[in-house]
Amino acid sequence: MVSSMVSREERAEEAREEEQEEREGRREEERRKNMHQQINEGAYHERWIGSNMTTKGKEIGLRAATNNFQRKLYGSKKNTIELIKEMGKVGMNVMLATEPGQGTKTNTIMFKNTVKEYGYAAITCNRDDSTIGGGMAMITDEAWSKLAAETKIYEPMDRGSRGRAIGIRGKTTDCCTADC
């Protein structure tokens, strides 16, 4: 009789533990579902895929993006200004732009001058300065434009491969004061 009571109590305890585990499992599943829903809602934006860039939290350092401008960046001051304003609006620090066309020397200079008017900077590499072959540009906001950088543009013998790679490395400065 005692053994049957113990086993009943043990079974009841096991049933309670099982129920508790099931409740915890359901809670965890609900928590995950809510978390994924919040992530999906926060990441949605009508104009891009990826992180929602409409807000920039304090914990976010560099905010960078890349875009293929499809022959609409170098040859249009209006498009360049729109890019700069959008970068400022979302707190973007760096834009790596692919510009497949209109990479003439005149357009590149116009582009860099427009960027400079807004306190930003641009480093460009084009296939060559005599064609509209395009290339790449890295646009940096006011803060990142102040950092010293060393640029290496990939210039292979094959003309068709030029303007497709650029290396940019930040340079450190020697610190000579005790304040740094």
Which is it for strands 94-99 and 64-68: parallel, antiparallel or unpaired? Answer: parallel
Q: What is the pLDDT of residue 177?
A: 43
Helix (H, G, I), strand (E, B) or coil at 66: strand
CA distances from 139 to 11, 82, 121, 134 (A): 69, 13, 6, 15
Helices (H), the chain: 2-43, 77-90, 105-117, 142-145
The C-alpha atoms of residue 65 and residue 130 are separated, in whole angstroms, by: 28
Residue with tokens 């450190």: 172
Q: How many CB atoms are closer than 10 A to CB 106?
A: 11
CB contact at 8 A, 93 and 62: yes
User: pLDDT (tens digit, 0 to 9) for every residue of the chain, 180 residues total?
Assistant: 545 556 888 888 888 999 999 999 898 888 888 877 776 666 666 666 666 666 667 777 788 888 888 888 887 889 999 999 999 988 889 998 888 777 778 888 899 999 999 999 998 887 766 666 778 888 999 988 888 877 777 777 777 676 677 777 776 655 444 443
pLDDT at residue 85, as a whole number: 93
Q: If you ran DSSP here, which 8-state letter would residue 56 be given?
A: -
The neighbouring-strand residues paired with 94 are 64, 140
What's the whole-model pTM score? 0.61
Tell how strand 121-126 and strand 135-140 pair up: antiparallel
Q: What is the pLDDT of residue 141?
A: 92
| Whole-number pLDDT of residue 140 | 92
User: Of 145, 123, 144, 124, which is closest to residue 134 (Cα–Cα)?
Assistant: 124
